[in-house]
Structures are given as C-alpha cells and as structure tokens.
A and B are shown apart, each in its own frame.
Chain A
C-alpha cells in the first residue's frame, strides 16, 4: 500500500488519481498506523516551506516519517515542496529548518529576466543514471515552483533543468528520492516515473 502523506499542503488528489490510474493501492492519510503499514511513502505538496515543515513537525508526522524512512528504509518520494523539505534549511517565508534528510538548502531560482514562478513544461537533463529514470520516453516535464533544493553533495543530483540558471530537479540518496517537477501531471513520462518509483523496494 502506497501512503500519500496528508499534512494539509497539497494537491493530494492529483497524486492519488495518477497512482490509482497505475493500478496501485493508495491511501491519503496522516495516520501513524497507515504510515507504518505502507510499502512506499509519498510526500507531495504545493505551498510554502515554512508552513509545510511546521505542519509536519506539529502533527508529529516528521518523527514517524523519520522512523519509517531513515531507519525503516522505506522507499520515499518527495514531490515539489515535498522534495524541498528534505533540505537542512529553506529560505521561503523566512529561514526555516527542514527535515535534513538530504543535506543542502532550498533557495529561490535566480531567474534573471525570466518571470517567476517557473510554470510550465521544461526539459530535464539527466546527470546520473538511476532506476527512477528508466524508460522515460520524453524528457519534458511539468513544473510549477519558485524554489529548488540544492544538495551539498553533487552525487545526489540525478537530473537538472534550466530556467535563468541550471538547478537540480531529481535528487536521490539511498531510499529517498525527490523530484521538483510534477510527475502526476506530466502525462506519459510522469506516469512512467511514478511506475519506476513503485518498483523500488
């Protein structure tokens, strides 16, 4: 069973729809037992870093997730804000501490003359092969964000994209993946990405 973490930040509906389309058994939940029972965990999220992390911490979900993901080694996917929260710290809405699972910082895109947020379809450039990127036919994905996670370790970066500057869009460390684009909204390529995540054990 896949559990999509419900922490009041999100487009949980569209992530659930996409996974159900792939035939997965999915639950949107903030319940401790559900999180423990899950095979895979997804932290979606649109919203601001400050609100996201405080919701996770105040609800006690941050501790349960830490238990399941860091110690239990369950496959974990953070999408958009869910990826940004993996950082040690984030700059959005004042400086806030993140989960710190992937060392680095969540910073604003230096977009130059381009408008922010970065909204729309953009190419990704694969930097390092990973099972999560297998069989993806088109490298164009849907983005909607103004911030991104910059990991300290370059080896954590699997793919980047470019909008004013080049920034990481797929990151990985052990059983933890983070993705800045919205696979649930990126049609075929996005569904393939989610399918690849479901294959992780």
Chain B
C-alpha cells in the first residue's frame, strides 16, 4: 500500500530558516542546515525546501548543494525557478522534484516543457491560494499578486500541462496553526488526478487526519508545528496509523 506522506517544509530568507504567518512577518527561527540534519536523522518521508529570495536574487547553487548533500530522502527544491535550465540545474544538484510557482503563472509553458523534457514526476506546481469574495484565487510572487485564476481552474490547467504534483498552500491559514483550509484542499484534490500536497495551518494531530480524510490530500506538509511544538513527523505518522491511514513508520 502507498503510504501517506508527512512532509516538513522549510523556507529560507536572508540565509536563515524563517517562519511566516499569512506569508508575512517572516521570523528568523535558526539555522537551516541544522534543521535539515535533524529531519534527515529523523528519517522523514520527504522534504520541501524553498529559497524565498531566489526570485529576486537568483538561484544560489551553493546553498542548494549544501542542503542536498545532507538529504537522503526525497527532496523538492524551489524558489526562483524560471527556465528549463533552472529545472535542470536543480535536478543536477540533487533535487528529485522542482517546485514552480510564479514563473508558471507568467509563462505556463514552463510546466508543459518541463514535464516533456524532465518528466511529469519531477514537476511540482506550487499553488498559493486565498479566499477572496467567496472564491479561492491563486496568488503569485509569494502571495503578493492576485492572478485571474481560480485555484481549481489553475490546478486543472497545470495538470493538463503535465505537472506531476500540486503543492497547495492556503495563504489565509499559513502559520496560524488552526487547521488546514479543508474546503480549498478538497476542491483542488477532487478536481485533479495528480497527487495534492496540502500545506498551511497544521497545528495539532487531528488537522492532518482531516486534511487526508476530508480534504482528500495525498500528502500533508507542515512547518510551524515542527518549529513551535515538540511534535515530530513520526508522532504524526503514528497517529495516522492509529486512525487507519497507511504511513511509513
């Protein structure tokens, strides 16, 4: 049986590990490399690592190399991916999957061409959404620019273009630790036939169960809960198993 993945998501700004609330108020919470080492030693299912500065500063090859040398688990790298060359660079550095967000909104062909050249399995479409006037709208540029896309339409569009997975973050819930946006997760998961990773809002064990059972997420990602509580990915997976969800222990 395929196991439901629990994925720590690490974000970097000014070369520090940061944690935000609703995509703002980025708080420095320490050294990224020690966080990477801890998660690797805890044998996590997978890790997502995003450099929030890369869109303006460019991709820092040395930084991603430093990370990937410590990771013997599946690794998604992202931040500032603008071209097929960037995707290739990240895969060569040690990424297994590459997360693409803003540049896909600007030039959707990066998804189609990336999937054709490198395979769908390594193209992760990262979608940031928030509720605006009763509709889930997609935002780009780190949550700063509202696009004309609804979350469901954009998810279908990237699927049709060959994305292999959707990394879906609720800007409204991000950092609050009050639970995932289940309606958002469910509407996107039901609309596409590719796996959806839910992110944004996990604060307690039951939040994960709800994202999987109600939201129908294929995988659950979180950040704050691992930084601000004693909870480990393993605690979460043990709880999933107790609740009848297959997980890797």
Contact = CB atoms under 8 A, between A and B. Distances in A.
The binding surface of chain A is classed by DSSP as mixed
Interface of B: 1-5, 43, 45-46, 65, 68-69, 71-75, 88, 91-97, 116-122, 164-165, 192-195, 218-219, 248
Given A114-B2, A117-B165, A120-B219, 13 more contacts: A10-B92, A11-B91, A13-B92, A14-B95, A21-B72, A48-B117, A48-B118, A117-B164, A119-B121, A119-B219, A122-B1, A122-B2, A163-B2
B68 A13 contact: yes
In order of increasing CB-CB distance, the 5 nearest A-B pairs are A13-B94, A47-B119, A121-B248, A14-B94, A121-B3
Contacts of A21: 72
Contacts, number: 120
Contact of A119 (B75, B88, B116, B165): B165
A79 to B, nearest CB: 11
Interface centre among B2, B3, B91, B219 (most CB of A within 10 A): B2
Contact of A121 (B5, B65, B93, B118): B5
A119 B119 CA distance: 13
B119 A116 contact: no
The binding surface of chain B is classed by DSSP as loop
B45 A119 contact: no
B194 A116 contact: yes
6 contacts: A48-B117, A48-B119, A116-B194, A119-B121, A142-B74, A144-B122
A68 interface: no
A115 B218 CA distance: 9
A46 B74 CA distance: 13
B119 A185 contact: no
Nearest to B92: A13
Contacts of A121: 2-3, 5, 45, 248
B121 A144 contact: yes
Given A118-B2, A185-B72, A10 B117 contact: no
A7 to B, nearest CB: 12
Given A47-B118, A119-B165, A140-B248, A185 B2 contact: no
Given A46-B96, A46-B118, A182-B96, A116 B193 contact: yes
Contacts of A59: none
Given A13-B94, A14-B68, A17-B69, A144 B2 contact: no
Interface centre among A48, A117, A119, A182 (most CB of B within 10 A): A119
Contacts of B5: 120-121
Contacts of A117: 120-121, 164-165, 194-195
A191 B64 CA distance: 22
Contacts of A118: 2
